[in-house]
Structure 1
Amino acid sequence: MKVLVVEDSREIASSVHDFLIREGYICELAFTFDEAQEKLLLFSYDCILLDIMLPDGNGLELLKLIRDKDIQSGVLIISAKDAMDDKIKGLEGGGDDYITKPFHLPELHARLRAIYRRKKLSGNNIITFNEITLNTDTLEASIHDTVLDITRKEFDLLLYLVVNKNRVLSRQSIATHLWGDYTDNLANFDFVYQHIKNLRKKISAANGADYIDTVYGLGYKFNSSKV
């Protein structure tokens, strides 16, 4: 999962960032309204952890931007302990959930996962497509009930492809989704090809169909019409 943390407290942001990285997330930080707005317009995220109080603006305005631009990210609002009005405005404005400061990091993790399941996976932690089964809790991928020996990146790549089946995904979009926004400045994305190649090989070894099409000059597509 790729998360943008919008939080002006560098201590809190750093703590959340380090925790989410340990949990296997791709995590980007924005400390101001302007910085967050720029990232939201340039990059895509699965979930946004949004503080209401920012030094140069209001998080509720960022929430309005997210919904006005039809940005398909889940939003977890960070609110102060006694800020009931902010919670109500945030939820009515399109926020998916809220968490109150101070919060425990495992609770934050659970809420982000719940939002992701609701927004991207129809509320499920088990994703199936024909012979493929993905368990987002155990991070296991199976073909015909055979558990694949794949890395975390390969699991995330397969999940990203399945969730976005029949859509052409550029090598750059795959790279930024799985490795972070810093990849936007790389000269090439040959490492994406290598991960696709490894994933195809492991699926084939388990007698799974090769659903991954190479769209030359553009990227890759998980083709659900293959049998």
Structure 2
Amino acid sequence: MKILLIEDEPDLAGSISGYLARDGYLVESVATLGEAYDKSGVYEYDCILVDIGLPDGNGLDLIARLKQEHQRAGIIIISAKDSIGDRIAGLDLGADDYLPKPFHLAELNARIRALQRRKSFGGERLIEYGDVLVNPTEQRVTVNGEDVKLTRSEYNLLLYFLANPHRVITKEGVAEHLSGDDADLLDRIDFIYSHIKNLRKKLVEAGAEDYIQSVYGVGYKWSR
């Protein structure tokens, strides 16, 4: 899952980024509204964490712009401004959740997981496709009831496919999802092939159908 964190308090931003990264998320962090505009205009995110009080503007303006541009990312406001007016304004603009500071990082993580379930998987606590079952809370993957051990990149790739079934995903899209901004710095994106190959091999060897279809010259599609 790819997250954009917009937070101008360095210590808090570092704590959030480190905590979520240890739980397997790909987190990119910015401290200003201008940087947030630049990032959200170029890259796709699954979730955007927005602080309202930023040094160069109001995070609510970013939410309004994201919704005008029909961005698919889920939005959680994290703010010390715990007024009912700000909360209503943010939710009315299209934010999915509002978490006032201070908060426990475990609660933020739980809200991110809940948002992912609502946005990508219809609110289901378990994600099932054919003979593949994923429990995001435990980060557990099974095929016909048997555990499948995946690396962090393979697990994130599996969730990316499951969130976009029957949709053609470009090779560049896979690279960006796994590497974030660093994908722009890579001369080659051949590294994605090993992740695709290993994920496919582990699932098939566990007894799953081969759901990963190559789309010649473009990328991949998860489908029966």
Instruction: Name the residue aligned to 1:112.
Output: 112
| Greater shift in the superposed pair: 58-67 or 9-18 | 9-18
Instruction: Name the residue aligned to 2:95.
Output: 95
Instruction: Name the residue aligned to 2:86.
Output: 86
How big is the shift at 1:82?
4.3
The Cα offsets for residues 42-83 of structure 1, whole Å up to 9 and x where unpaired, read as 111111110111111111110011100110111111222543
Q: Secondary structure at the match of 2:204?
A: helix
The Cα offsets for residues 186-219 of structure 1, whole Å up to 9 and x where unpaired, read as 1111111111111111122122211111112211
Instruction: Name the residue aligned to 1:166.
Output: 166
Amino acid at match of 1:15: S
Asked if the contact 1:143/1:207 (under 8 Å) is kept, the reply is: yes
Asked if the contact 2:77/2:95 (under 8 Å) is kept, the reply is: yes
The Cα offsets for residues 154-175 of structure 1, whole Å up to 9 and x where unpaired, read as 1221121122111111122112
Instruction: Name the residue aligned to 2:148.
Output: 148
Asked if the contact 1:79/1:87 (under 8 Å) is kept, the reply is: no
1:1-227 alignment runs, 5 A limit: 1-224=1-224
Query: d(CA) in 2 for partners of 1:172 and 1:205?
Result: 27
Query: d(CA) in 2 for partners of 1:159 and 1:78?
Result: 25
Q: Secondary structure at the match of 2:166?
A: coil
Query: d(CA) in 2 for partners of 1:18 and 1:162?
Result: 26
Query: d(CA) in 2 for partners of 1:7 and 1:197?
Result: 37
Amino acid at match of 2:204: S
How many residue pairs match? The answer is: 224
Query: d(CA) in 2 for partners of 1:157 and 1:3?
Result: 15
Q: Which runs of 5+ in 1 are unaligned?
A: none
Asked if the contact 1:2/1:25 (under 8 Å) is kept, the reply is: yes
Amino acid at match of 2:76: L
Query: d(CA) in 2 for partners of 1:206 and 1:20?
Result: 29
Q: Secondary structure at the match of 1:90?
A: helix
Query: d(CA) in 2 for partners of 1:41 and 1:193?
Result: 27
Q: Secondary structure at the match of 1:124?
A: coil
How big is the shift at 1:86?
1.1
Asked if the contact 1:75/1:96 (under 8 Å) is kept, the reply is: yes
Asked if the contact 1:161/1:221 (under 8 Å) is kept, the reply is: yes
Asked if the contact 2:113/2:136 (under 8 Å) is kept, the reply is: no
Query: d(CA) in 2 for partners of 1:160 and 1:89?
Result: 31
How big is the shift at 1:178?
2.2
Query: d(CA) in 2 for partners of 1:179 and 1:192?
Result: 10
TM-score by length of 2: 0.95
Query: d(CA) in 1 for partners of 2:78 and 2:141?
Result: 33
Q: Which runs of 5+ in 2 are unaligned?
A: none
How big is the shift at 1:22?
1.3
Asked if the contact 2:52/2:81 (under 8 Å) is kept, the reply is: no
